[in-house]
Amino acid sequence: MAFILPTLGLLIAVLAPIVLVRADASTSPIVVQNKDPLIYYHGRWDDSPGTWWAGSGFKIHVENLSSMTLNLGPHTTSLLASIGVSLNYGDFTTVNVSEGSNTLPLQSLQSDSEENTTGKNVIRINTEGWQDNRINLENITLNSGAKVLPYKPSRLAFQFIGDSLSAGQYLPKGVDQAWPFLVSESFKAEHVVVAQPGAALTDIVSYGNVHGVSYQFFKTEDTGFYYTTDHNYTTPWDFKKDVPAATHVVSHIGANDASQNITANAFVDTYLDFLARLRTVYVHQPIFVFTPWGWPQPTGPNSFYYNGSYTEIVNERHAVGDKDVFLVNTTGWVSYEDVFPDNIHPTVEGHQKIAGLFEKWLEGWGLQPEKEWATPA
């Protein structure tokens, strides 16, 4: 579970088209300050505003768009951080950004194959990586004549909790190719991913993470906060900032607890305490507890950890009257063909397979995808 610096690079893909308008040189560009309520932030941001967590980002709905520049402050990762950019719900393209002015390549992202005549565009931005992913947004510069419109979030909102198996470690586009993100896209839902490679659920030091997820989930900073020079402390997270509040909570965690020799009994106790605390935030929302899909082997069956413990955890919640905790049995979801042989983490195709299986599971459970995005482009 060692940390490996993800490959960074500018990946240009063709996204859904935008309507580009000619800017009037006689007028000034539009500057959108970082506290503007029309910027829809998702994920964990501090007051600067800055973020560390993979998958955190923002959306902005703009009319009469021809250019967009992100002006980033000194707390942005040096030399660069990778963000995923999507226009009008198209695929996410990697763009490397750094402190200072970063003009997004809108012309390069425009498709010639179809025409958008509305003049309104939705820009979505996510931090991709699980490390070197600090973004410090000072303001956004738009072309003169542009107008920022309200962004209406989806009525569905997923909260994912996990480790490297959810954070997109080793994937070219990081979390934007990981199964939690793919599920959210399929359901046209909002999402927050609180997942960090190497982190245990138990509050212990694990593979460079200062705290476990059972502690850090309730904080603004990620589990590596200690190493951040301007933020080597933790700040309680205000869950009122999650708008809308998560409608569905998904937890897939435990691999690093097992690697750190946490006993099954201790892990069950920690998980039960964690779920009880989650219930103080998500009082009535369904919580989906994944069983491990295991570590695939080149020959023979997958290697599993905490056999039976996840069933015990869910049954204990049911015993205290919480019937809205559901076990997701992922046995058989991942085989050796679905993982990188050198680290046994799912490949891009492996994450797509997991996402498809969970989407099918959710639909069987009773959740249907939204037919359209809540904010049309």
SS3 at position 81? strand
pLDDT at 224: 85
Q: Which tokens is 323 given?
A: 């019937």
Angle at CA 51, nearest 5°, toward 65 and 134?
A: 90
Q: What is the pTM of this model?
A: 0.90
Enter the DSSP assignment of 151: P
- Going by C-alpha positions, the residue among 149, 148, 146 that lies closest to residue 23 is 146
Give residue 230's pLDDT: 79
Residue ranges matching CATH 3.40.50.1110 in the chain: 157-365
Give me the CATH code for the 157-365 domain, please. Answer: 3.40.50.1110
What token pair was written down for 32?
Answer: 């959108």
Res 4: pLDDT: 40
Residue in this structure with the two tokens 């979030």, named with its chain if needed: 153
Average pLDDT per run of 10 along the chain, which is 377 residues long? 39 41 65 97 93 94 96 93 94 95 85 60 94 93 97 98 97 97 98 97 96 97 84 92 96 98 98 98 98 94 96 98 98 97 97 98 98 94
261: left (phi over 0), alpha (psi -120 to 50) or beta: left
- Domain boundaries for CATH 2.60.120.260 within the chain: 30-149
* CA R_g for the chain: 21
pLDDT at 111: 58
For position 311, what pLDDT does the model report? Answer: 98
Tell me the CATH architecture of domain 30-149. Sandwich (2.60)
Q: 94 near 83, Cβ under 8 Å?
A: yes
Q: What's the confidence (pLDDT) of residue 108?
A: 78
* Helix 348-365, helix 179-186: angle, nearest 10: 50
